């Protein structure tokens, strides 16, 4: 008999029994179910189980927060239920049956960008470090940066650009690869397509933006501009989807004995032509329009209002999954303006959620079970993972969530008012300052203090009146 056998048996009953489970798997902290009828789940019964830290529904999946012991719980659940688990990708595919068209589109967008985030985060941190050693005048009475007085650090500054360039300039390769991977087509063709968008033969996108003369391929009857799409996300996405649908079409109609020759050739060549003749210019225009609108909103006389609304609504957007759209916008802002004012507000929202949980830790200091949920949730939230805090604590009691989004709105407003800009997407939460451009770090620290103090104060004061004695 396993450690969690009894709770696993009860969980099976509370989710509606074996017949109500389409698919089940687990991630780092959560059991993930796709239920035939989500209404049959007894949420109160599930959350009363000793092993359960909370529940929530997202992207068509009913998720039960277990914590770090989720793998052991999952094994006991599988043994008790007799249900064979599936991969996370299969669960996601099943879950799409519970989503509407918009939710499916958002889920697909998220699945494209999630595999790219580790590289983008590393690239942002490296750019931030380069700025610290190359731009901040700390030495010789504030007149010189570290790279100006040290050969080693000058060399390191130059060397690290190798990684920064690989991440951001050649990002379209990652985008087209990720689309091919997600859609189940040839990943190598996705990579090749991405390379054709950033080839050294082409005029660099930054050169195009700077007004350089654009070379062209001359076919006699037509000329095609030789423009690169370095750091451009939307042209890469559009080209990637053309490639995968071409490949799927040719797989269906091509005899198997010539498939190896016909499918790659008839998929890749038209995709590359369409990408450079049609989709690249259109995608560039769309991406520039989006980034210009967002940037204009953030820097206008009503930028404070834009920031307040975004800071207030970001955490609710996380609940719906719509927050994944900000990844593409952040990347486009970075490409067009050398940084993003949007991402610092996201980091501040994460901090605000963690700060509300910190207040709950103090309010419930004598509630051992609550502490088992709140302490790990606060730590993960301050490191950029908000789900355990939001679903395990803040949304459960609601007033901490409201305190957090108010603090996030105020912190975001200050951040935008001070024009705080990040190099790119970074590590959410407290480590977020590492991705902030050096000249804005002090103001970002002030914004972080707002995101810590305001949610904590609101949650603690309201909690003293609203939180029942038995919850403490």
Q: Cα dihedral angle (164, 425, 441, 353), rounded to 10 degrees?
A: -150
Q: How many residues in the chain?
A: 472
Beta bridge partners of 219: none
Closest CA to 338 of 466, 238, 231: 231
Distances (CA, A) of 342 to 296, 351, 421, 441: 12, 15, 8, 15
Distance CA(128)–CA(90), nearest Å, equals 37
Note the helical H segments in 321-440. Answer: 325-337, 342-363, 368-382, 387-389, 395-397, 399-417
Beta bridge partners of 64: 31, 55
- Residue 70 three-state SS: helix
| 341: phi then psi, degrees, rounded to nearest 5 | -90, -5
Distance CA(466)–CA(398), nearest Å, equals 11
Closest CA to 415 of 323, 345, 337: 345
| 303: phi then psi, degrees, rounded to nearest 5 | -60, -35
Closest CA to 304 of 418, 209, 406, 384: 418
DSSP state of 352: H
Distance CA(359)–CA(377), nearest Å, equals 12
CB 263 within 8 A of CB 251: yes
The DSSP-derived string for 218-238 is E-SS-EEE-B--TT-SHHHHH
Beta bridge partners of 323: none
Beta bridge partners of 58: 61
Long-range contacts of 216-224 (CB under 8 A, 24+ apart): 224/276, 224/277
Q: How many alpha carbons lie under 13 Å from residue 241 in its C-beta half-sphere?
A: 11
CB 168 within 8 A of CB 231: yes
CB 38 within 8 A of CB 98: yes
Positions marked active-site: 27
The DSSP-derived string for 302-320 is THHHHHHHHHHHHHHHHHH
CB 294 within 8 A of CB 329: yes
């Amino acid at each position: 008999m396993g450690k969690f056998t009894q709770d696993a048996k009860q969980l099976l009953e509370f989710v509606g029994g074996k017949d109500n489970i389409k698919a089940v798997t687990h991630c780092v902290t959560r059991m993930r179910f796709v239920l035939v009828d989500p209404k049959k789940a007894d949420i109160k019964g599930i959350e009363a189980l000793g092993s359960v830290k909370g529940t929530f529904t997202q992207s068509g999946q009913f998720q039960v927060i277990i914590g770090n012991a989720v793998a052991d719980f999952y094994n006991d659940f599988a043994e008790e239920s007799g249900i064979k688990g599936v991969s996370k990708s299969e669960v996601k595919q099943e879950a799409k049956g519970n989503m509407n068209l918009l939710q499916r589109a958002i889920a697909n967008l998220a699945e494209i960008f999630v595999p790219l985030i580790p590289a983008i985060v590393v690239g942002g941190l490296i750019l931030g470090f380069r700025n610290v050693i190359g731009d901040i005048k700390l030495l010789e009475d504030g007149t010189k940066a570290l790279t100006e007085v040290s050969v080693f650090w000058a060399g390191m500054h130059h060397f690290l650009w190798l990684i920064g360039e690989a991440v951001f300039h050649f990002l379209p390769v990652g985008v087209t690869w990720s689309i091919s991977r997600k859609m189940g087509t040839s990943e190598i063709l996705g990579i090749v397509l991405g390379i054709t968008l950033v080839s050294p033969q082409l005029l660099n996108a930054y050169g195009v933006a700077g007004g350089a003369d654009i070379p062209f391929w001359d076919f006699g009857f037509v000329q095609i501009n030789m423009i690169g799409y370095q750091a451009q996300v939307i042209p890469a996405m559009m080209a990637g989807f053309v490639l995968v649908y071409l490949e799927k079409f040719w797989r269906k109609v091509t005899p198997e004995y010539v498939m190896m020759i016909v499918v790659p050739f008839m998929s890749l060549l038209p995709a590359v032509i369409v990408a450079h003749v049609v989709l690249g210019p259109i995608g560039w225009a769309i991406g520039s329009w989006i980034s210009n609108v967002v940037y204009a909103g953030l820097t206008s006389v009503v930028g404070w209002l834009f920031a307040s609304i975004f800071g207030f609504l970001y955490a609710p957007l996380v609940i719906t999954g719509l927050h994944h759209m900000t990844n593409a916008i952040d990347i486009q802002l970075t490409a067009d303006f050398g940084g993003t004012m949007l991402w610092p507000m996201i980091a501040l929202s994460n901090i605000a959620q963690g700060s509300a949980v910190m207040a709950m830790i103090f309010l419930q200091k004598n509630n051992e079970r609550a502490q088992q949920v709140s302490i790990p949730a606060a730590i993960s939230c301050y490191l950029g993972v908000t789900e355990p805090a939001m679903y395990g604590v803040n949304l459960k009691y609601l007033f901490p969530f409201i305190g957090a989004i108010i603090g996030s709105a105020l912190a975001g407003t200050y951040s935008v008012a001070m024009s705080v800009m990040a190099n790119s997407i970074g590590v959410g939460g407290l480590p977020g300052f590492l991705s902030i451009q050096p000249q804005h770090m002090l103001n970002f620290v002030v914004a972080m203090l707002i995101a810590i103090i305001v949610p904590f104060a609101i949650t603690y004061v309201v909690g003293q009146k609203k939180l029942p004695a038995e919850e403490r």
